[in-house]
Amino acid sequence: MERDSSFSAETAGVLSGDDDALADVTVIVCASCRDETGSDGHPRAGELLAEDTRRAALGDNIRIRSVECLGNCKRRLSAAILRDGCWSYVFGDLTATSGADLVAKDIA
């Protein structure tokens, strides 16, 4: 079975421009996602989730990235967890305060 390496965690780090290539895990948050009400207000729920996840990951070897769209719009607020050489997971129906849950899944 071949592994599709077209979008690895390493690639996600390169796209961000940050120098944290030693991180084992990357959490990618959809920055344009809206909350459960569908509000167009700013900051968007995705931006708030990315910031909450950054706070929860402080001191851990976890990269946090934002992208404009994860293509999981039917599940509202979404994030993905990637690790090179491993499975990737996409989560939906999150809240702006789900950052600690995303980090707990990574380090467990």
Quote the mean pLDDT of the chain. 81
Q: What is d(CA 68, CA 16) in angstroms, rounded to the nearest whole number?
A: 12
7 within some domain:
no
Q: What is the dihedral of CA 57, 73, 21, 96, to 10 degrees?
A: -20
2 within some domain:
no
11 within some domain:
no
Q: Which residue segment(s) compose the domain that 50 sits in? A: 21-107
3 within some domain:
no
The three-point CA angle 59-15-78 to 5° equals 70
CATH number of 63's domain: 3.40.30.10
Q: What is d(CA 34, CA 76) in angstroms, rounded to the nearest whole number?
A: 6
82 within some domain:
yes
pTM: 0.75
Q: What is d(CA 75, CA 16) in angstroms, rounded to the nearest whole number?
A: 25
Nearest alpha carbon to residue 90 among 6, 76, 104, 18? 76
6 within some domain:
no
55 within some domain:
yes
The model's pLDDT over 64-93, given as tens digits with 9 standing for 90+, comes to 999 999 999 889 899 999 998 888 999 999
14 within some domain:
no
* Domains held by the chain: number: 1
The model's pLDDT over 7-52, given as tens digits with 9 standing for 90+, comes to 555 555 444 445 445 468 999 999 999 887 878 888 999 999 999 9
Assign residue 76 a region (left: φ > 0; alpha: ψ between -120 and 50; beta: otherwise). left
